[in-house]
Amino acid sequence: MTINFKGKHGPLLIAEIGGNHEGDFEYAKRLTQLAIDTDVDYIKFQLYSGDTLVSSVENPDRNKHFKKFELTKAQNIELAEMVKAAGIGYMASVWDEEVLSWIDPYMDIYKIGSGDLTAFPVLKTTSLYRKPMIVSTGLSTEGDVLEVVDYIRSLDDYYKSEDSLALLQCTSMYPIAMSDANLDVVQRLKDLTGLPVGYSDHTVGSQALKYAYAMGAQILEFHFTDTREGKLFRDHQVSLIPSEVKGLIEELAMIQVLKGNPVKEPLEIEKEANHVETFRRAVYPSRDIQAGEILTKENLTVLRPNRGIDARAFDQVLGKVIKEDVKKHQRLSWEMMK
């Protein structure tokens, strides 16, 4: 399977419900339907069990936290079927290798969270399914990113295609200041790897997402919830609500209009108005010149419109002899000189 990492609205839009359901399946379904209604490209979840993610000895509190947020296999499959039936892509960060075998039929793309960028055993198992991966790069150095790209590509030639592997700039805190978004990393990672690069947002609001797209991000991932009011779980505070997602999509459409065609050439409206001629300059006599005179900087100038000899040829005209009398500001041609 290959994918071009492009979305219906320009960038590939991923609304991450993640753990925002907080283990409540009915709430998870409600959030899923709200996300479906926003018309994003993918709705993303997190699949895990506490004991396959966090050591119960080294960090018992985090182990209990993830256990509290677990959904069952049947519940996760129901959510996946709900998303797929609506014509939206289903995506998940799978933090439990045993889950891969039963969730894979619903997955077009695997998302590798920032915390798993160095979890090579997880990456190796995921690669066996030969589906595109999007890797978040929070907590990473450039060296870490290049290392994981090389590692994934070493696992299977399939991942040497730019349609099979993408990266996301991400800062792994919730929430972050605008100054910590570091959107310039998007272009830097493109230059370093040649891969599609997007942005996973942990700021408050949608402003960073809009700017990221304008700066070249091809994928936009954001947390999603129904409301931030009265929510204690941190992810809700960096989540967009449905109206904000719809507003984001409207802004992305305008950004796409403003970005336009990357090939630099005169537009039809410029050509129809004849601006290529009327706005540009040609070589003209700056005074009356008699036949036999040498053309110099003193008796030539450049003026609009660009009729006759283009101003770019000014130096080539210098030193030539005019063969006939010409008036000040008269159009010149090469046939008039020798």
Antiparallel, parallel or unpaired: β 282-285 and 300-303 = antiparallel
Contact 21, 39 (CB under 8 A): no
Is the domain defined by 268-336 classed in CATH 3.90.1210.10?
yes
Q: At what angle do helices 184-193 and 142-155 cross, to 10 degrees?
A: 40
**Which residue, among 207, 249, 234, has the nearest Cα to 35 in the 3D structure?**
249
pLDDT tens digits for range 72-126: 999 999 999 999 999 999 999 998 888 999 999 999 999 999 999 999 999 999 9
What are the φ/ψ torsions at residue 292 (nearest 5 degrees)?
95, -10
What whole-number distance in Å separates Cα of residue 302 and Cα of residue 282? 5
Cis? peptide before 242, omega within 30° of 0: no
Task: Spell 273-300 as b/e; 16+ CB within 10 A means b.
Answer: eeeeeeeebbbbbbeebeeeeebeeebb
**So where are the chain's domains?**
8-259, 268-336
In the prediction, which pLDDT does 265 show? 95
| Ranges under pLDDT 50 in the chain | none
Please name the CATH architecture into which domain 8-259 falls.
Alpha-Beta Barrel (3.20)
Q: What angle do CA 173, 176, 182 make, to 5 degrees?
A: 100
How many C-beta neighbours within 10 Å does residue 20 have? Answer: 22
In the prediction, which pLDDT does 2 show? 56
How many C-beta neighbours within 10 Å does residue 224 have? Answer: 27
Query: 118: alpha, beta or left, given left = phi > 0 and alpha = psi -120 to 50?
Result: alpha
Beta bridge partners of 303: 282
pLDDT tens digits for range 209-242: 999 999 999 999 999 999 999 988 888 999 999 9
